[in-house]
Structure 1
Amino acid sequence: MKYFSSKLFLAVLMALGTCAVGAQEFKIGIVNIDRIFREANSAKAAQAKLEQEFGKREKELGDLGTQLKTLADKFEREAPTLSESQRATRQKQVVDQDRDFQRKRREFQEDLNARKNEELQQVIERANKVVKTVAETEKYDLVLQEAVYASPKHDITDKVIKALNAAK
């Protein structure tokens, strides 16, 4: 029995020693993808590209909204003095323009969201490649993109942003 106890004790000590050594070597990194979207040059360039691409349409949509509001305000002011047929005609005109405006605004938003997703996906792909390179170079065992809490000593976002900005 004593022989069995000493072997069990030795096995437990070896297991604990292995766990302790393994725990010391395990290296974790955390990446904040939101910061990458805000601070990386490639993300800023993607945002500028989208603004350039959709700026004109957004301005036209704003102008159309202003025209619609002016038309609706004018109709409200003049409605009491208009004949029934004129009132119906003008009301139909306001409703038709409003429907057209809503349709154009919805199409604009859908197009913008689709393009934004495309651009952000490209930024994410580049960032993931850089994260992998940093992880391999600095011998990280695990890199996470989302965490409820992470100690700042594990945050490698700055390294990733620097590497992203350096790569073209």
Structure 2
Amino acid sequence: MEKYPLKDFMDASEPIIVEDVLAHPRVSEIAHTLIASGLRSFAMVPIAVGERWFGVIALGRNEPSTLTREFIRSHRTLAGQAATALESMRLLENTRRRAEREQLTSEITARIRETLDVETVLKTAVHEIGHRLGLAALDVRLGVDKDLLTAQSETKIVEREKEQ
């Protein structure tokens, strides 16, 4: 929608109606483009919820014309219904992704709670996070004084190393 040439003329809450591109002051700078594409009159009804744009219903004719209020009202209703459906789909997808993240966190937490051994906890966390996120490699190092606890997802080894 950002690259749509007439978006700057539009308000998310109101349609634009141009009965004749040659007589409309706001579209005069792009009138030649509109006429070249075969449009002499048009209406654009935003598909938006609040300030969130999904698209536009664009209707055009190759001659100057006047659109009836009923015609515009019916297309505003259609655009409103489309925007509501698209917003619902967007929210549902966000909810689905959030549920997946919460499920992942819950599963990893459950696996970690199965043990009280720090090395096993680290190994389990690294393995699960690397596996669930599809990472090629994951390297976690926990330092306590000079001891270093290391876990890597590409190996199944958890080891203590002395820092040099």
The TM-score bracket by the shorter chain reads 0.3 to 0.5
Comparing both chains, which one has the higher relative contact order based on Cα–Cα distances under 8 Å and sequence gaps of 6 or more? Answer: 1
| TM-score, length-scaled by structure 2 | 0.35
Normalized per residue, which structure has more helix? Answer: 1
Bigger radius of gyration, 1 or 2? Answer: 1
Normalized per residue, which structure has more strand? Answer: 2
